[in-house]
């Protein structure tokens, strides 16, 4: 393995994606046999455990948020003045009111924080790591940069990895990007400056292996990962909400009015030759009388009542102040995947090249597949093929005697998969994949094909083209070289169906005068189709690349007429939120993935669901009261 430097070698993910695997291993001071146990222990001491920020209930922090209320500070000043001038009864009453207000707010928020912490049950899992040439099962927190990790279907990627092996590997990155379709991976270095969407030679922490297998060397752990950077952003202190700004302005107004009146009354009394002490006491009494002593308690009790009402509907409120902002919301941004939709791909239709329903197209798609069926259910396979094979019993009958003899798995360069199929004594090469890639390998296309595919795309479907070619009966294997001279058979379309109650919820929001806009990392056509199906007023569509070319002023001008923001990353979601707030809107954001966490954190009100990721839940209600 060679001599390992004393300090832990460093290599950022973008650089690792562009380098050959041998160079990456060398720079990380590692090798295919992994690290030694001693070196791994040393690195763990240097970089710390492989964990990102998690939710913790901190009583002092909650108490501090209560006493930071400017109106409470004004009341405490009034109590101090009352005590100085000898009015002990007023001082005691004011202090009691302040104590009641702070106590109520503390108890309610502390209970809410405890409930949220219970929701944040840590997912601790073990991962296969190569150490000293042996494969060990280690806790994910013990993984360090330079470790070689093995991946298989169903694994959660434990850290940011530069892939060393990739055998049909595909990762679901929707937790980071919002895209519902898994991303195919390879060991080939990427060219240029890769973005998060283009790291095909890397596997990112928090993503899920949906197909194939592979191995990679750890480039970053914990907060040094793409996932971790999102979590760290949640620790940034956000700007105040609309309600907090209003309360601050009201308190300043009270202080100003009280100050002006106190000085004016004091001057008038002195001018009228009243005793100096009497004039001062009278002025201070006026100032104390102007202070609305019960207002903080009334506000806290009202907000607490709101939290209890929401709790009866199984809604956890992390910050009391969010109740007021929730009532004032006039603009809601919502994620699509897993929020408006089920977050799971479902088979929609099989059509021939002329747009007619076709069992033959479906049959060919079922045979050319990577699924593993066990005990009447699909246990392995890509999401598209798994969706295609439901229900298993009916699909098995449709396949009949057709047999898959050999398979070339899908990869991101070919964007297709090919199988050698035997059916009724004849053998066929069956290829399915991205329509544009399949079209290039067909010797001719039916005149209606492009229109049929265009209609499917416009409907927001994920479209897979299916083609075939008969081969000699003695052919025993298939390779990419066989993907030629194909005959287009038809298409398979898939959808991520909207949630059953999403349409009703959007209609109720519209009736309340709340504008709803979709902000997603997914394709604009898919987002538009889902929005239209749910009855949402779509308007214009802006993509992430278009946003990058716009100034904040241009974006603010475009906001009212734009209903969908597509192909946007977490930072762009955050920018949209901040620009909307700058225009004077009270903004809420609804999301469930780690890619939504920053926007949830920056919005006036962040709303998530019980099935959301821990990082997304941490982003909700993150503003100080």
In the chain, DSSP finds a helix count (H) and a strand count (E) of 24, 22
Q: Is residue 73 classed as helix, strand or coil in its secondary structure? A: helix
Q: Is residue 611 classed as helix, strand or coil in its secondary structure? A: coil
149: β partners:
129, 216
Cβ pair 468, 428 in contact under 8 A: yes
Q: Mind giving me the DSSP string for 433-447?
A: E-HHHHHHTEEE--T
Distance CA 202, CA 19 (A): 11
Q: Which of 335, 370, 411, 496 is catalytic?
A: 335
Count CA atoms within 13 Å of residue 116 on its CB side.
29
Which residues of 309-449 form beta strands (DSSP E)?
A: 331-334, 346-352, 372-374, 377-380, 403-411, 416-423, 426-433, 442-444
Pairing of strands 562-566, 540-543: parallel
Would you tell me how many other CB atoms lie within 10 Å of the CB of residue 437? 15
Distance of alpha carbon 250 from its chain centroid, rounded?
A: 36
Would you tell me how many other CB atoms lie within 10 Å of the CB of residue 415? 14
Q: Is residue 415 classed as helix, strand or coil in its secondary structure? A: coil
Distance CA 430, CA 422 (A): 10
Please say if 614 is a catalytic residue: no
Distance CA 146, CA 8 (A): 9
Q: What one-character DSSP code corresponds to residue 126?
A: E
Cβ pair 299, 70 in contact under 8 A: no
Distance CA 482, CA 418 (A): 8
Q: What one-character DSSP code corresponds to residue 604?
A: S
Cβ neighbours for 166, distance < 8 A, ≥ 6 positions apart: 185, 186, 187, 212, 214
Distance CA 281, CA 426 (A): 106
Name the residues annotated as catalytic: 335
């Amino acid at each position: 393995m060679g001599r390992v430097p004393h300090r832990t070698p460093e290599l950022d993910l973008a650089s690792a994606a562009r380098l050959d695997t041998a160079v990456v291993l060398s720079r990380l001071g590692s090798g295919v046999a992994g690290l030694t146990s001693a070196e791994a222990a040393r690195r763990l001491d240097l970089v710390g455990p492989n964990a990102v920020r998690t939710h913790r209930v901190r009583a002092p922090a909650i108490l501090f948020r209560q006493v930071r209320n400017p109106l409470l500070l004004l009341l405490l000043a009034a109590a101090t003045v009352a005590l100085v001038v000898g009015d002990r009864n007023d001082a005691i009453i004011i202090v009691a009111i302040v104590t009641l207000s702070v106590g109520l707010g503390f108890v309610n928020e502390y209970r809410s924080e405890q409930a949220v912490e219970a929701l944040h049950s840590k997912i601790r899992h073990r991962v296969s790591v190569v150490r000293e040439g042996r494969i060990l099962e280690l806790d994910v927190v013990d993984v360090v940069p330079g470790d070689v990790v093995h991946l298989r279907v169903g694994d959660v990627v434990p850290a940011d990895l530069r892939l060393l092996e990739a055998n049909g590997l595909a990762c679901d990155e929707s937790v980071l990007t919002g895209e519902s379709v898994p991303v195919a991976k390879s060991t080939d270095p990427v060219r240029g400056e890769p973005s998060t969407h283009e790291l095909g030679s890397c596997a990112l922490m928090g993503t899920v292996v949906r197909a194939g297998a592979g191995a990679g060397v750890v480039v970053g752990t914990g907060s040094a990962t793409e996932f971790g950077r999102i979590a760290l952003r949640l620790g940034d202190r956000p700007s105040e909400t609309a309600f907090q700004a209003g309360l601050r302005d009201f308190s300043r107004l009270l202080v100003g009015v009280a100050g002006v009146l106190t000085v004016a009354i004091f001057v008038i009394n002195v001018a009228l030759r009243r005793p100096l002490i009497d004039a001062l006491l009278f002025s201070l009494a006026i100032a104390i009388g102007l202070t609305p002593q019960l207002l903080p308690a009334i506000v806290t009790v009202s907000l607490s009542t709101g939290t209890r009402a929401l709790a009866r509907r199984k809604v956890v409120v992390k910050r009391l102040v969010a109740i007021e902002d929730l009532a004032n919301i006039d603009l809601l941004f919502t994620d699509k995947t897993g929020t408006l939709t089920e977050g799971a791909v479902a088979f929609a239709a099989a059509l021939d090249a002329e747009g007619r329903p076709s069992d033959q197209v479906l049959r060919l798609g079922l045979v050319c597949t990577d699924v593993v069926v066990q005990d009447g259910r699909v246990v392995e396979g890509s999401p598209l093929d798994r969706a295609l094979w439901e229900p298993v019993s009916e699909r098995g009958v449709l396949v009949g005697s057709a047999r898959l003899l050999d398979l070339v798995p899908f990869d991101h360069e070919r964007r297709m998969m090919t199988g050698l199929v035997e059916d009724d004594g004849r053998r066929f090469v069956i290829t399915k994949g991205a329509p544009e890639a399949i079209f290039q390998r067909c010797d001719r296309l039916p005149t209606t094909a492009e229109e049929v595919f265009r209609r499917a795309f416009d409907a927001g479907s994920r479209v897979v083209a299916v083609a075939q070619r008969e081969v000699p009966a003695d052919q025993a294997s298939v390779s990419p070289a066989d993907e030629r001279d194909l005959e287009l058979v038809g298409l398979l379309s898939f959808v991520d169906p909207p949630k059953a109650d999403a349409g009703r919820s959007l209609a109720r929001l519209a009736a309340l005068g709340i504008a709803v806009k979709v902000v997603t990392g997914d394709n604009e056509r898919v987002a538009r189709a889902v929005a239209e199906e749910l009855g949402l007023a779509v308007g214009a569509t802006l993509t992430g690349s278009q946003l990058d070319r716009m100034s904040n002023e241009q974006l603010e001008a475009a906001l009212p007429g734009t209903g969908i923001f597509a192909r946007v990353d977490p930072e762009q979601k955050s920018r949209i939120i901040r620009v909307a707030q700058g225009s004077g809107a009270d903004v809420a954001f609804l999301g469930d993935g780690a890619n939504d966490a920053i926007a949830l954190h920056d919005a006036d009100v962040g709303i998530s669901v019980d099935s959301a990721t821990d990082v997304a839940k941490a982003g909700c209600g993150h503003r100080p009261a």
